[in-house]
Each structure stands twice: as C-alpha cells, then as structure tokens.
Structure 1
Amino acid sequence: MPRTRPRFAIRMRVAAVAVSLSAALGGCALLADVTTPTTESDERATGEVASITDGDTLRLVVNGEELRVRLTGIDTPELRESECFADEARDALAALAPVGSRIAFEYDDERRDQYDRELMYLYAADGTFINLALVEGGYARELHYSPNYHYRDQIESAEAAAQAAAAGLWGACS
C-alpha cells in the first residue's frame, strides 16, 4: 500500500473530530470568537477556581498554592458597599469561572496590586476571555492598572458597546 493512505486516514479522522466538536459546541464557538483576544498566547498557565469573592476577585489554586486574584483591566460594583449590580457581577463571574473549574490565566506587566492580589487575565476552558466577557455583558467597567495595557483597547471598545446598548449595569444603575 502507498504511504499516503495512512496519512489520509489520519487526516479524515482529525477532520471528523473537528466537525463533531464544532457541531457539539455550536454557539460556544461564536462567543469564544468574540471574547478571545486578538493576540493570545499559545500556552497559558492554568489553575482551579477555589472560590468567587465578588465580580472581579476570586481565589485560584495554582500548583497547590491558593492565590487571591484580581481580574486586571476591569472593575465591578462592590458587594461590601451594596453597589448596584454587584450581585449580578459576582454571579456572572461564577457562571464564567465556576468553582472547581480549570481556567487559564496570563499576567500583564505588573503582576500584583497594592493589596498583594495577583493581577490576571482569565480564560474559560472554551477560550472565553473572562475579563472581556464581563465588560461585554455590562457587569464590569474598564479600569486599567498602569502599566497593564495589553488588552486595554479591546476592553474599552467592549465598554463603549455595553454603554451604548444599556447592557447590565449601564441600564440598571444610574
């Protein structure tokens, strides 16, 4: 038999798996396209979500160590101060990064804030850029932490679109 035949069979299997995954994921692929950064790293570190603190803060277990994580580039209403849409923002983060799920993360230039929390961009298993998705849904505002500007343009654009659509806090809070 010619050598190309096994390669052809492998290619056909790979294509079949790709088609099956595309069909199974359906609309998820569309969301991932919208919320995936244009400059993304091929390999990111991962951790397991231990708990959700509020809409922009969670605890993540990485290599056996529990880290306090602040999502960089965004700000959500504060639960402690009972700000409008704080509960919804926390629930949105919990839906995007459920406790027990594995999520990927990356740092920008500055890795910690003044409260010694890790500043991270987070990604769900399906590729959804969580920080951006929260802004797109109107659960968060853009807030850059100098010098962390890597996705600032995307986050600012998402905020403008959410404001224009009166999405989330932009429609519910005055």
Structure 2
Amino acid sequence: MLTRKLMQALAVLVILLSGCQGVSSSHSGTTEKTVDLSDKIEVTVRRVIDGDTFIADVNGTEERIRLILVDTPETVHPTKAVQPYGKEASAFSKKTLENQSVYLEYDKEKRDKYDRLLAYVFLKDGTSFNKILLEKGYARLAVFPPNIKYEDEYKQAEKEAKKKKLGLWNNKKGE
C-alpha cells in the first residue's frame, strides 16, 4: 500500500516537472542561459532611442544606456541614413524594453565617450537582451575592450544567426 502511494506521488511529481519544461518563453528560438539577477541593478526603461540605446531611470536619475558588445543598424544617427534592419531592431527593442524593469550589469568601463552607461541588459527572466538581439539577427557583435565579459557567448549567438540567415544576415535588404 505504501509503495503504491509512493509510486502515485512520484508519477504526479514527474508529470508536474515535465509540464514545466514545456513552457515557452516569449523569446522563442533563443538559447536561453539565465543569470543570477541578485547582483544586477534593476532599472525602469523609460524610452527606447534605437535598437541598442535607451533611457532608463537608474536610482532616480535618468540615464542613457548603451548596450555592450552589440551594434544595431542606425535609425536616428545625425549623419547616417536609416540602415537595413534598423527599424526592425528599434521596434523589437521598443516592444521588449519600453516601460519594463530590466537589470543592468556593468563591465570594466562603465561609461563611453558620450557619457552613456555601458551595460549588459537582462530581462526579468534572467535572459540577456544583448544576446537576443544577436540571435535574432538584429545586431552585429561589436567588441570594444576592455568590455568583453560575454564576448565568446555573444560571438556564438551571432554565428548561429548568420548560419540561419536571420535579420541582417538574410541578404534580402542589401547586406
């Protein structure tokens, strides 16, 4: 009798656990590696400027944030025309980030020459937004040492997007 109840309980547990694996993320298609958010800085995104830059409330101060290790095509550059996939990258960033709480992680250099905060951005579920942009083909890898903590991981994400001919890599818009 005890063994039968134990087997039933185990079966229920297996069913419950297997059901958890089937939950899909809103970022389907990404190789999700989540990180611990406890050491990250939570901010609220106020406005997305373009695919790789946004304004956020950081500890009560409005700051311009520039994503590290990624470069999306231009849409608001003062001397450059709108580039292929720029509007798509900006729209994706706006849809994903605007009015949301996200988590920032800094690397060795905290600000760039324009006084923007340089950060890796993580969504509430711990996924890297920078990496998602690369995986979906909305961005190219842009390496500026010494900020290279996730370079290898992001390089692999870009490689996969190229292989799948996603976004920038689909050769349909002149790139």
TM-score of the aligned structures, taking structure 2 as reference length: 0.79
The separation in 2 between residues aligned to 1:42 and 1:96, in whole angstroms, is 21
Deviation at 1:28, TM superposition (A): 1.6
Identity of matched residues, %? 32
Alpha-carbon displacement from aligned partner over 1:70-102 (angstroms, at most 9, x marks no partner): 0001000000321000000001112221x2211
The separation in 1 between residues aligned to 2:163 and 2:45, in whole angstroms, is 32
The aligned amino acid for 1:114 is: K
Moved more, 28-37 or 63-72: 28-37
Alpha-carbon displacement from aligned partner over 1:85-135 (angstroms, at most 9, x marks no partner): 0000001112221x2211011001111111111000001112221000000
The separation in 2 between residues aligned to 1:118 and 1:83, in whole angstroms, is 24
Q: Which runs of 5 or more residues in structure 2 are unaligned?
A: 1-12
Q: Which has the higher helix share?
A: 1
1:89 matched to 2:85: no
Q: Would you say how many aligned residue pairs link Structure 1 and Structure 2?
A: 154
User: Any conservation in 2 of the 1:48–1:101 contact (CA below 8 Å)?
Assistant: yes
The aligned amino acid for 1:155 is: Y
Alignment of 1:133-144 (within 5 A): 133-144=132-143
TM-score of the aligned structures, taking structure 1 as reference length: 0.79
Query: Which residue of the other structure, out of 71, 76, 85, is the alignment partner of 2:72?
Result: 76
User: Any conservation in 2 of the 1:53–1:59 contact (CA below 8 Å)?
Assistant: yes
Runs of 4+ in 1 over 6 A off after TM superposition: none
Aligned to 2:3: none
User: Any conservation in 1 of the 2:37–2:126 contact (CA below 8 Å)?
Assistant: no
Q: In structure 2, do the counterparts of structure 1 residues 134 and 22 end up closer, same or farther at CA, with 3 Å as the change threshold?
A: same
Task: Give the CA RMSD over aligned residues.
Answer: 2.5
Deviation at 1:62, TM superposition (A): 1.3
- Structure of greater Rg: 2
Query: Which residue of the other structure, out of 63, 67, 72, is the alignment partner of 1:67?
Result: 63
Q: Which runs of 5 or more residues in structure 1 are unaligned?
A: 1-14
Aligned to 2:33: 36
User: Any conservation in 2 of the 1:32–1:128 contact (CA below 8 Å)?
Assistant: no
